[in-house]
């Protein structure tokens, strides 16, 4: 019973004393924060706007970078026939849908692709074999081809 009386009267008493004794307005709270920073109210508002704009710019750049990374991952998923990831697709769409890779990343991908194409060719496979000298092999092939041309010239049927 005492608890109920205390909560009912105590809450009313706090409201009454709060309005009588030196409570600050919410408008004065902004002013006091500006004064605490050593600025006028207009300067403080301008400062707050700048902070919000800078945060928006940082967020936009972060979203763009995330989308670029997602584009790179999706490129490799397509290249190696891996399943697509929905989070990457949503990050790309969040950044505007059409995201290009940074030049540095695009160069790295091109270099990797060229190296893989070289390794995929017959000469690339031969070059990777240990103890095989391609220059000597090439010289032998050219001399053999030259010998075949000479013997073809001597042949009366051709």
For the stretch 39-85, pLDDT in tens is 888 888 899 999 999 999 999 999 888 888 888 888 888 878 889 88
71 in any annotated domain: yes
153 in any annotated domain: no
Give the pLDDT confidence score for residue 77 in this predicted structure.
Answer: 86
Domain count, the chain: 1
Give the pLDDT confidence score for residue 25 in this predicted structure.
Answer: 47
79 in any annotated domain: yes
Between 98 and 141, residue with greater pLDDT: 141
26 in any annotated domain: no
pTM, full prediction: 0.46
120 in any annotated domain: yes
What's the domain range around 119? 39-127
d(Cα 21, Cα 7) in Å, to the nearest integer?
A: 21
116 in any annotated domain: yes
């Amino acid at each position: 019973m005492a608890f109920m009386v205390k909560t009912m009267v105590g809450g009313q008493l706090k409201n009454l004393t709060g309005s009588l004794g030196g409570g600050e307005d919410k408008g004065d709270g902004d002013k006091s924060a500006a004064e605490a920073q050593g600025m006028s109210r207009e300067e403080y508002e301008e400062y707050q706007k700048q902070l919000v704009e800078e945060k928006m710019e940082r967020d936009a750049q972060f979203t763009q970078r995330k989308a670029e990374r997602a584009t790179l991952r999706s490129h490799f998923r397509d290249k190696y026939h891996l399943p697509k990831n929905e989070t990457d697709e949503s990050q790309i769409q969040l950044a505007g849908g059409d995201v290009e890779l940074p030049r540095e990343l695009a160069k790295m991908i091109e270099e990797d692709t060229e190296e893989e194409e070289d390794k995929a060719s017959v000469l690339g496979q031969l070059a990777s074999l240990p103890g095989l000298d391609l220059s000597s092999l090439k010289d032998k092939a050219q001399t053999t081809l030259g010998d075949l041309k000479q013997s073809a010239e001597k042949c009366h049927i051709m």
